[in-house]
Structure 1
């Protein structure tokens, strides 16, 4: 199976419709949100600071994520970073390594979108053990900073590009 991470705007109409049908398990919704909210963020009020990406497996979307830069950068992020949001792997495709593949391909896509960035950041709920394991296992580094988020306490994780 071939996978590739592509910009949302590069998808054809059928693939965009398939992205809209991506669903996560109900217990993941408080952490990742749903596709309606993610696509709403991307499409309703377009911003040069928000980009969407879909992971295609044999040209079929199986995962989606958002990246943000100013003016959409969250308050907790470093101004020289892009932030990862709404990473969602379709519930029927989970456990097949697609989340890891998104994270593997993400740095190159982020640099292609914004060559000036110095790294990536994300915020993850400390109780979201699956996500914490995914990010830490992929080489993201816990910054040691925690703050009160929507669901519980959040940890900030960073990915720095090689100099």
Structure 2
């Protein structure tokens, strides 16, 4: 199966409709939110500091994520980074490696969108064991700092360009 991470703006109307139907398992909602909120933050007040990306598997949307840059960065992020938000793999597609495929394609997509960035950053709830394992397993580095987030304590993870490469083997 061929996967690729595509800017939401480049999707066809049918693909955008399929993105809006992406759902996660109810227990994942506190960690990533739902698609309505993710698309609302992308489309309600368009900003050059927010981009949405869909992971296409054979041209069908199976996952979605947001990237943010100034002026939309969270308070904990470095101004030279882009931050990852709302990573959602459709519940009907989970367990097939699509979250990993998103993260593997993310550095190239982020640099294409914003060539000046030096790193990617994210914040992940410490109780989200699956996500922590995925990020750390792909080379994201824990900053060592935790802070009180919406659900519980969150860790900040960072991917620095030029430090290492992500395995981009196709799924």
How far apart, CA to CA, are the structure 1 residues paired with 2:48 and 2:71? 8
Q: Which residue is equivalent to 1:58?
A: 58
Deviations 1:17-48 (A, max 9, x none): 00000000000000000000000000000000
Q: How does 1:121-136 map to 2 (within 5 A)?
A: 121-136=121-136
Q: TM-score scaled to structure 1, two decimals?
A: 0.99
Q: Which residue is equivalent to 1:5?
A: 5
| Corresponding pairs, count | 163
Question: Which segments of structure 1 move beyond 6 Å, counting only runs of 4 or more?
Answer: none
Give the root-mean-square deviation of aligned CA atoms. 0.6
How far apart, CA to CA, are the structure 2 residues paired with 1:115 and 1:145? 27
How far apart, CA to CA, are the structure 1 residues paired with 2:147 and 2:8? 31
2:19 counterpart SS class: helix
Deviations 1:55-89 (A, max 9, x none): 00000000000000001000000010000000000
Q: Which residue is equivalent to 1:94?
A: 94
Deviations 1:96-138 (A, max 9, x none): 0000000000000000000000000000000000110111111
1:151 counterpart SS class: coil
Structure 1 position 11, deviation (Å):
0.2
Is 1:29 the counterpart of 2:42? The answer is no
How far apart, CA to CA, are the structure 2 residues paired with 1:105 and 1:88? 15
1:48 counterpart SS class: coil
Structure 2 unpaired stretches of 5+: 164-171
Q: Which residue is equivalent to 1:71?
A: 71
2:79 counterpart SS class: coil
Q: TM-score scaled to structure 2, two decimals?
A: 0.94
